[in-house]
Structure 1
Amino acid sequence: MNVRERNGRFHTAAILAALALLLLALLPLNALARRYFLAHAAQQLLLVGWIPGLLLLADPLPRLWRRLPRAWRAAAWRFVRARRTRLGAWRWVVGPGAAYVGFTAVFWLWHDPALHRLLLRSDALWALEKGTLFGAALLYWWHVAAAAPRLHAPLPLLVRAGYALLGAGPIKLTGIVLLFGREGVYAYPGQLALPGLDVDAQGLGSMLVWLLGGVLFTA
C-alpha cells in the first residue's frame, strides 16, 4: 500500500468516525444531556473537540471538489472571483486570532449560569448552543488542521501545535472553576453520584471537562 492509499484510508476513517460521533452527540446523548450535567459536558466536548478535529484533519473539501461536475466548479470559481475584493475582510474575520477569541467566547458564553438555566428550558436555545459551539470549533480546528479552503498561508507546524494547546485553555479553566467553585451552579433535573466518592453531579461533569478537555487538544 502506497502513501496515497494510506492517506486516503485515514481520511475516510476519520470522516466516518466524525459522523458516527456526531450521531452519538445529537441522538442518544442529546436526551441525556437535558437531564444530566455530566452527559451535557460530554456532548460539548464531542462538539468542540473530537468531531470537528477528526472532520478537518481528514480535509474533506478537496475530495468533494474533485467529484463536483465541471460546470459547478466553474460557476463556483466565477462566484469567488467576482467577490475577490471582499475576501480581504473575510480573511481577517476568520483569521487564527479571531477564530481563537470566538471559540473561547462561545464556549464560555454557554457556561454562564443565567443563560444555562434558560438553555435547559428552551428548545431554540438548546439547538443554538449546539450550532454555535460546533461552528466556532470548526473555524478553530480549520487553522489547526490547515484544511481547505485555504484563505491564509498555513501556520508552521510548531505554531499549529501551540495553537492547538491554547484551545485546551478555556475548556480546562471552565472545568477548574466549576470543580472548585460553589456547588449547584447548574440545576439539572437528573442527579448522579458515584458510591464512595463525595462529588456531586456538577463535580463529576467538571472533572470530565478538566481532565479530558486538554487530552482532546493534544492527542
Structure 2
Amino acid sequence: MNSIVQTAFDSWTPPVATIATLLVTAAIYARGFVRLHRQMPDRFPVWRLASFIAGIVALFIAIASPLEAFDDLLLQIHMTQHLLLMIVAPPLLLAGAPAIALIRGTPSRVAKAVAGPVLRSRAVRRLFAWMTEPLVCWIAFAAATWGWHLPAAFQLALRSDGWHVVEHACFLTTALMFWYPVIQPWPSVARWPRWAMLPYLLLADGQNTILAALFMFSEHLIYPIYATAPRIAGFTPLGDQIVAGAIMWVPGSIFYLVPAALIMFQMLAPQYLSRQSAREADSHRRVAGQLPATR
C-alpha cells in the first residue's frame, strides 16, 4: 500500500459518537417502521425501510468512514463527501417517510416528554412551515452550496475540525430542506403544484453545473491548500480539481434530472391527469354554486 495512503488510514480515528448516533437513529426508525408496517402495509412498504437505511449508509460513508481521512489530500474525495451529504443521503432518508416512524420508534416516555411539547409548539410549527417553503428551501440550498465552496470558507473547514462539522451540518440540513418539497414525505402536504418541481430541480442542476464547470475549466487552483498535499495515485493538484468538477457535474446532474423526469412521467400518466381533471371539475362546481344564476 502507498505510504501516504497508509499514513492517512493510520491517522484516522473512528468517530464513535457519530457512528453511535447513526446506529441509534436507524434502530429507532426500524422499530417504528415495523409497527407502522403492520398497521399500514400499503403506506409503509419494505422499500421505505430499505431507502432510509440506504440513506444512513450514505451518511456513514460520507462522515464516519475512512473516506474522511482523505478529504484534505484529494479534492475529489471531498466532493464525493459533499455529493453524498447533499444529493444522495437526503432524498433516501426522506423517501422513508421518517417523521412518524421515528416518533413511533422512540420509547413512549421519551416521545411524550420531548416530541409532544415540541410538536404542540406554535413557534416550532411556524419555523417548520418556513423551513419547508420551497423558495426558502431552494435559496438555502444554493447559498450553502456556493457559500461553503468559496475558497476562504472551504479552506477554513479543512483546517478546523469544528468548522468542518459545521460545514457538513449545514450541507445536510439545507439538503434535507431542498429535497423535502421534491420527495414530499408522508404525511406532509405539498405547498406548490407538482409541475413546479420541474423548474425547481432544473434550476438547481443549472447552478450545480456552473459550479462544476468552474472546477473543470479553471486554469489555476481554486483551493491553494491542495498544492501542498502529498500526491496520491499520480494526481496533480489541477488534475484532481478537474476530476472533482466532473464528480460534481455528472453524478450531480443525474440526481437532479432523474427525479425531474420521473415527476414529468408521473404528471403525464392517465391516472394523474384524471385526478387533475376531477379536481378542476370539483373546483368549477364549487365556484358555480357560489355564483348567482343568470338569465
Q: Could you state the TM-score of these two structures normalised by the residue count of structure 2?
A: 0.63
Distance 1:66 1:181, change over 3 A: same
Higher relative contact order (CA 8 A, sep 6+): 1
SS of equivalent residue, structure 1 residue 217: helix
1:99 aligns with 2:117: no
- Once the two structures are superposed, what CA deviation does each residue of 1:128-158 show, in whole Å capped at 9, x if it has no partner? 11110011101111111112563x5443332
| 8 A Cα contact 2:131 2:177, kept in partner | no
Distance in 1, Cα, partners of 2:232 & 2:220:
14
Structure with greater proportional helix content? 2
Q: From the CA coordinates, give the structure whose radius of gyration is larger.
A: 2
SS of equivalent residue, structure 1 residue 114: helix
1:162 aligns with 2:199: yes
- Once the two structures are superposed, what CA deviation does each residue of 1:83-108 show, in whole Å capped at 9, x if it has no partner? 33674465235411111101100110
SS of equivalent residue, structure 1 residue 34: coil
Alignment of 1:136-215 (within 5 A): 136-147=174-185, 150=188, 153-186=190-223, 187-188=225-226, 189-191=229-231, 200-215=239-254
Distance in 2, Cα, partners of 1:131 & 1:73:
24
Q: Residue 43 of structure 1 aligns with which residue?
A: 81
1:216 aligns with 2:255: yes
CA apart distance, 1:13: 0.8
- Once the two structures are superposed, what CA deviation does each residue of 1:56-89 show, in whole Å capped at 9, x if it has no partner? 01212122333456666666455544x3367446
Alignment of 1:58-77 (within 5 A): 58-68=96-106, 76-77=115-116
Q: Residue 35 of structure 2 aligns with which residue?
A: none
Task: Say what the alpha-carbon RMSD is for the aligned residues.
Answer: 2.9
Q: Residue 13 of structure 1 aligns with which residue?
A: 50
| 8 A Cα contact 2:90 2:172, kept in partner | yes
Q: Could you state the TM-score of these two structures normalised by the residue count of structure 1?
A: 0.83
Distance in 2, Cα, partners of 1:13 & 1:106:
28
The one-letter code of the counterpart of 1:137 is: A
- Once the two structures are superposed, what CA deviation does each residue of 1:9-57 show, in whole Å capped at 9, x if it has no partner? 1101111111111111112211111210000011101100010010001
